[in-house]
Chain A
Amino acid sequence: SYVLTQPPSVSVAPGQTAKIPCGGNNIESKTVHWYQQKPGQAPVLVVYDDSDRPSGIPERFSGSNSGNTATLIISRVEAGDEADYYCQVWDTTTDLSWVFGGGTKLTVL
């Protein structure tokens, strides 16, 4: 089955740019989605189809996907962005299934 790899943690100072990677074999051939999850809450979709934003998500959230790495980019980071972030793809290589990465804890210093 397809595997998505994320670093356990990323730290960034307020106002700076956070980049959260998601690694997968030839991930550029897939569409990647990103979710934000705060403690005790359900995940919220923040980026879909590599780089699109759902309605209501700030423009500070963006994404890219190239080679073996997709990246969630959060510009002008705020304290309220501190959360766990998960990447996800729809894998069609073996079984048709939805695969999540292991998650990255974003800490705002």
Chain B
Amino acid sequence: QVQLVESGGGVVQPGRSLRLSCVASGFIFSSYGMHWVRQAPGKGLEWVAVIWFDGTNKYHADSVKGRFTISRDNSKNTLYLQMNSLRPEDTAVYYCARDSAPYYYGSGTPDYWGQGTLVTVSS
């Protein structure tokens, strides 16, 4: 069965960096695009970034562009989110999610989601 396990969350001071990881299993990781989606406490879902199955393209939300970078290592079945210059408004649960369409040169929509990792940005 599809499993996505995020890690790397924690408490970090404003302006600092953090790298999230997501280890995938139960499917051919290198065949699927992957997303990061976040949810601030008590708020709705916010899409953060997507990377195509082969890593050739990646797109980020305007709210994180220039500060966050999505990447992947298909040899390790692992998705990453490098978060720099963190702000208090980045506080959220960060979900890793698989795109619904394999071998898709584009951005589909997430189908399977991990359980999330909490990032708290506070001094």
Partners in one complex: no
Chain A positions near chain B (C-beta within 8 angstroms)? none
Chain B positions near chain A (C-beta within 8 angstroms)? none
